[in-house]
Amino acid sequence: MKVNEVFYSVQGEGRSLGIPSIFIRLSSCNLHCWWCDTKYTWLFSKQMLKNVEKATTDNSSAPREDTKLYHPFKESIDMLSEELIQTIEKFDCKRIVLTGGEPLLQQKDPELLKFLNCVNELGYYIETETNGTIVPNELFSASIKQWNVSPKLESSGNRAIMRENAAALSFFSNANTAWFKFVVCSENDIYGINDIVARYKIQKNKVLLMPEGTTREDVLRRSRFIVETCKASGYGFTPRLHILLWGSDRGR
């Protein structure tokens, strides 16, 4: 399996906010959100870099320091199941957050499936972050206790055909173990969120709005109007705890 990094921290977003967890960050993504704070997991080609730069310009934002090409051989490590198990056993924790990138791009990888099956039998609680564009297969899903689904909006810079998969969103909207987390850049994003929630019949108590931002100032600034939106709509609010505590530092 292709692994970017493994670290121990607390969950900074979503339903499991604040819970100590082992983060396994996998490499590669099928989207190119200009505001993504883990570009080092997928920004490996010149074409992808052009896509990000265009989306940044379209959103009237200045390029960020992390908008650059990364080397796949440095940011994508081949690991066997046994190696990854040895790594996570160093931490006194039984909760895993599988993140990325987009983890479901590797859902057919034999080593990843073997790893998930093993840690499931060892009593680990596994939650997976996903952008909601890929339908999980049965083998992968069997070990997952919680889905953190983050559908992307027009402001992400991804075309509709890339960012919205009706079959995948329908799967997650009908899953009792799935919660939806939307990144909000501006008040205009609320229209897109309301549209997705209505079309896929997502329960409002399963929806969380989260401020976009890679600095404490940006997160707090956007949080104010998002909280008011949550009060008016019935959605939940989630901060970005890791940004508030450590900024954009990796491995935190």
pTM of the model: 0.95
CATH number of the domain at 2-246, out of 3.30.470.20, 3.30.460.10, 2.60.40.10, 3.20.20.70?
3.20.20.70
DSSP label of 63? P
CA dihedral 174, 239, 5, 20 (to 10 degrees): -90
Measured CA to CA, the distance from residue 238 to residue 167 in angstroms comes to: 26
Given the structure tokens 């081949």, which residue do they identify? 78
Domain ranges for the chain: 2-246
Q: Give tens-digit pLDDT for 114-131.
A: 999 999 999 999 999 999
Measured CA to CA, the distance from residue 11 to residue 3 in angstroms comes to: 19
Q: With bands split at pLDDT 50, 70 and 90, how would you rate the model's confidence at 68?
A: very high
Q: With bands split at pLDDT 50, 70 and 90, how would you rate the model's confidence at 169?
A: very high
Quick one: pLDDT at residue 248? 77
Asked if 100 contacts 119 with a C-beta cutoff of 8 angstroms, the reply is no
